[in-house]
Amino acid sequence: MPEIVANSVLPASRQPITLTTSDGLRLVGELATPLDRAPLGTIVCLHPLPTAAGMMDSHVLRKAAWRLPALAGLAVLRFNTRGTTSAAGTSEGQYDDARGEGLDLAAALSYASASGLPDPWLLGWSFGTDVALKHGNVDPVQGAVLLSPALRFSTVADLDGWAASGRPLVAVVPELDDYLRPDEARERFARVPQAEVVAVPGARHLWVGEKYVRIALGEVVRHVAPAAYPLATWTDGPMERWSDL
């Protein structure tokens, strides 16, 4: 069977979407859903810092959309927050230090609900973890997986809100992260009793390397679609190879 590698694209229904925020901005995005069944759950992706090239196509999130519909039966909704550009286009508005981005997340959750997408979980990465912590502790969110949480914009009050809600919170922390490493993460998230801190030896903030991408996506699946865990690394079905050229 062929191995799933960095540029492997597995079958899914993929469609461009437009989100409209409550303050009137149009955001570009994509929804990927399983081809052969209704989704078992939904991942709403929140990308890294757009002022440092973060976007909906940041590699871990793009690979989530390439793999998780086929391997785990999940819908994957990605979008560019306000003022962010990717190959799909540029979302209207301007970057807002994790404030206005809360309206962007609300628009994504409204779209998911209107589309009948079940049981949304948030998948935040770096800056996206702050957006999740500040604005994602709302219905119908089931929980959040945080890759490389920096806790740059999030406050103690945000963490206490998650603690009170009881919603699952999973912090997946690289051993060699530039901003928050596992020991400090355990201290910071200790105020959220249901939070789980997963330390990843050898990993860095940007999750470069297929080994680390598999670990990151595996943690998503372990919590959101546990029947599909551990995530397959081989496929006997169709598979394409993506090229940015």
pLDDT value at position 18?
98
DSSP calls for 177-194? -SS--HHHHHHHHTTSTT
Kindly report, residue by residue over 91-109, the tens digit of the pLDDT.
999 999 999 999 999 999 9
State which amino acid sits at residue 80: N
Per-state percent for the chain, helix, strand, coil, to nearest 5: 30, 25, 45
3-class secondary structure, 59: helix
Measure the CA–CA gap between 36 and 213, rounded to whole angstroms.
Answer: 25
Share of the chain above pLDDT 90, in %: 98
Contacts of 144 (CB under 8 A, 6+ apart): 121, 122, 123, 124, 129, 132, 133, 136, 167, 168, 169, 170
Residue 30 tokens, joined: 């994509």
Residue 4 tokens, joined: 């799933």
Measure the CA–CA gap between 45 and 63, rounded to whole angstroms.
Answer: 11
pLDDT at 245 over 70: no
CATH architecture of 10-226: 3-Layer(aba) Sandwich (3.40)
Within 10 angstroms of residue 141's Cβ, the number of other Cβ atoms is: 21
Categorize the per-residue pLDDT at 244 as very low, low, confident or very high, splitting at 50, 70 and 90. confident
Crossing angle for the helix pair 127-135 and 156-165, to the nearest 10 degrees = 60
Residue 167 tokens, joined: 């919603």
Contacts of 204 (CB under 8 A, 6+ apart): 174, 176, 177, 178, 212
Q: What is the mean pLDDT of residues 222-233?
A: 98
Contacts of 9 (CB under 8 A, 6+ apart): 66, 239, 240, 241, 242
Kindly report, residue by residue over 10-68, the tens digit of the pLDDT.
999 999 999 999 999 999 999 999 998 999 999 999 999 999 999 999 999 999 999 99
CB 89 within 8 A of CB 83: no
H helix intervals, 1-58: none
